Homo-oligomer: A and B are copies of this chain.
């Protein structure tokens, strides 16, 4: 029998009514002849409420205890979903991350999944029950402590379970209708993308699309699990994320899948860096030691007269202060002149597997952005993505210009789409 793993985000289980609606959807899948395993997030804002409680008790809660606290949120939602299914006459059994065999590293708050041993889940499914699993949580391999998986954790739980159970597909439900060619709040004519490759989805996630977390897509690609991103508030199909879009469909596919944007980055420029071998390595290894992930890097041509250059890079704005501190520590050693920090920037990315075989995509993008009167500060490219950094105020304009230039605009506005997904 075909097995489907479904994941419901916090907004889909926000209250008793939402939970009953989700239960009906789950039962409908079961009635249609599928085995069903469900992964749930905590209800609505309950995680924030727990964090607030912790903050009232101490400004710096220990990670182990914070994980113990936060994981109660999924325990509540999963038990309620199981009850709601029970009241529809179907058997459901809920399982904590630990019971579901989600084995992780001991990094509290950001644990990585090491292994999934879903014996109890498989047993429940074999006995005809619907298994409900707490997302976002696991148990550490050595210390047997409760852990949480960090951002995107529930999606990752769902995909990891789908892989371990050899599921036929993994459905990711939230309050958005799928992956769009751009954020519909910026581009009202944005269209839902019916099908996209793992590669493109990875680039989108890395470029600021919040629909799916990078880890979840990487996991799905590694194990070849088809993902279906859709809304729990409608019956409409969403977006399929699959290994590759078939030839026949490829004919219909536009060159570009979508335009993503990211407002969360900042730019640091290291001014007056001696133009010598190994200096750039010193800069970025000092950042790596502070566990700061750098995104785009640009090094200007050095001015021959001074034998000095400027190196600019982007990073999550949240890490800005740490990065500046780390760099100041090595200033004397490296001998650069000064640091400039700018968090009023944004990144706009064009993503599409089709750009591989179409030359001229880059120039078309630059032309469109220039025509909109927007200055490009930095550029970086991959085989299937072009990203530009612009002033924060110019993000919306750049997204719209790119969307139109690549003929992504729909004839009509397709749907009302809500805010980002939960964890």
Q: Is A292 an interface residue (CB 8 A)?
A: no
- Smallest Cβ distance from A21 to chain B, in angstroms? 11
* Inter-chain contacts of A56 with B (CB < 8 A): 15-16
Which of B50, B62, B80 interacts with A86 by CB under 8 Å? B62
Q: Is A78 an interface residue (CB 8 A)?
A: yes
Interface residues of A in 41-63 (CB under 8 A from B): 50, 53-54, 56-62
Q: Given A75-B75, A76-B50, A144-B99, A84 and B57 touching (CB < 8 A)?
A: yes
Q: How far is the CA of A75 from the CA of B146 in the complex (A)?
A: 11
* Inter-chain contacts of A68 with B (CB < 8 A): 75, 78-79, 82, 94
Q: How far is the CA of A79 from the CA of B54 in the complex (A)?
A: 9
* Inter-chain contacts of A64 with B (CB < 8 A): 93-94
Name the residue of chain B whose CB is nearest to the CB of A91. Answer: B62
A57 touches B93 (CB 8 A): no
Q: Is A6 an interface residue (CB 8 A)?
A: no
Name the residue of chain B whose CB is nearest to the CB of A61. Answer: B83
Q: Is A325 an interface residue (CB 8 A)?
A: no
A65 touches B87 (CB 8 A): no
Name the residue of chain B whose CB is nearest to the CB of A55. Answer: B16
Q: Is A20 an interface residue (CB 8 A)?
A: yes
Name the residue of chain B whose CB is nearest to the CB of A87. Answer: B58
Q: Is A19 an interface residue (CB 8 A)?
A: yes
Q: Is A302 an interface residue (CB 8 A)?
A: no
Q: Name the residue in A58, A59, A69 with the highest tally of chain B Cβ atoms < 10 Å from its Cβ.
A: A58
Q: Is A66 an interface residue (CB 8 A)?
A: yes
* Inter-chain contacts of A65 with B (CB < 8 A): 79-80, 82-83, 86, 92-94
B61 touches A72 (CB 8 A): no
Q: How far is the CA of A79 from the CA of B58 in the complex (A)?
A: 11
* Inter-chain contacts of A92 with B (CB < 8 A): 65
Q: Is A104 an interface residue (CB 8 A)?
A: no
List 7 A–B pairs whose Cβ atoms lie within 8 Å, in order of A's numbering: A20-B57, A53-B80, A57-B80, A58-B83, A66-B79, A72-B75, A99-B144
